[in-house]
Amino acid sequence: MSENKDWSQYWSQGHKTSFGSSFKGCYEGVLKQSWLKVFSTFNDGDKVLDLCTGNGSLPRLAYESMSNFSEINFSGVDYATVDSDDTFLKLSNVDFKFDCNIEELPFDSLQFDYVISNYGIEYSNLEKSLTEVSRVLKPLGKATFVCHVNSSRIFLENANELTLLTYLLKSDGLINCLDSLVTALDEKAVTQDTAAINEISMSAEQYRNELNKQLSDALDEFGIDFHQSDFVSFLKFLLNKNTENKKDKLALYKQEAVSHQVRLKALCKAALNYEALPKTIDLFNSVGLEIHNHEMISDESGIVAIQIWALKIV
């Protein structure tokens, strides 16, 4: 759970889920339906804890879909620092705690009837976080987790994106080559000396040729994935003659690319290994959480997650 700064930056942009602009509001489709089934098991007066809540996608989904939402107490915790100036967080039955490590939950034992997490708990040290889940759950309390799994299309898509992004961010890669070109163009724009202008123009032409070569290499290596990447769209925008402050815009793009790379690495590392699932089940059992069901969540495009249900053994 070492990506606090990068996730804090991400959530501060207003995203409601960990998939950026993929969803306009909270989760949709099969993910939404899987959670609505979970919500239907909540009873009036229950205390529910949402781990790695981010901007509160699950409590917000409950708010939108449950007629008895106000009768249930929702707590949310997240390792990131999230702006809490939000009317939703001022509801009397909602309590979020940020900058909070789920491996050391700030709650007394036996507090909650239900613990939930959507693409969250797997980012932690499971031995520590599951021990904490067991500690704060009441006897016969329930836990439901939706987790990344290494056989899902989401994992595979993000792993491919990580490979491309790592390629772009190489020290001698496309982004730094573009930086050199933009720097040369900026210098040429403000230089008055003719000899210096000619020298800078030669450098800029060299950088432009190198950029074109690397673009061709990237297209050969990644094909349509590169052609449809946001880098190509950004490149067209940046080199447009009407785009001002190119250097600053490129710096912001690179900053977000580096942060996104950190998040992608964390996702790929966190995804549960389906082949090693028996070991994960043993880990649940070792802390008093008995898994009574697990299944893949799939849509028309393939697997999107694994869902795990567990019961706190008395």
Chain segment 79-104, per-residue pLDDT in tens: 887 766 678 888 999 999 999 999 99
Query: Over the Cα atoms of the chain, what is R_g?
Result: 24
- State the pLDDT confidence band at 22, using cuts at 50, 70 and 90: very low
pLDDT band at 146 (very low <50, low <70, confident <90, very high): very high
Q: With 70 as the cut, is the pLDDT of residue 203 above it?
A: yes
Who has greater pLDDT, 94 or 21? 94
Domain 4-151+271-312 falls in which CATH fold? Answer: Rossmann fold (3.40.50)
On the question of pLDDT at 271 being above 70, the answer is yes
Min mean pLDDT across 54-58, 152-156, 289-293 is at 54-58
Opening angle at CA 253, ends 123 and 305, nearest 5: 30
Residues 6+ apart with CB under 8 A from 293: 308, 309
Q: Where in the chain is the domain with CATH 3.40.50.150?
A: 4-151+271-312
Helix, strand or coil for residue 186? helix
**Residue 246, both tokens:** 């190119």
What pLDDT is stored for residue 85 in this prediction?
A: 67
Q: How confident is the model at residue 274 (pLDDT cuts 50, 70, 90)?
A: very high
**Residue with structure tokens 């090693």?**
276
What is the DSSP-derived secondary structure letter of residue 126?
Answer: H
Report pLDDT for 201: 80
- 273 pLDDT exceeds 90? yes
Q: How confident is the model at residue 12 (pLDDT cuts 50, 70, 90)?
A: very low
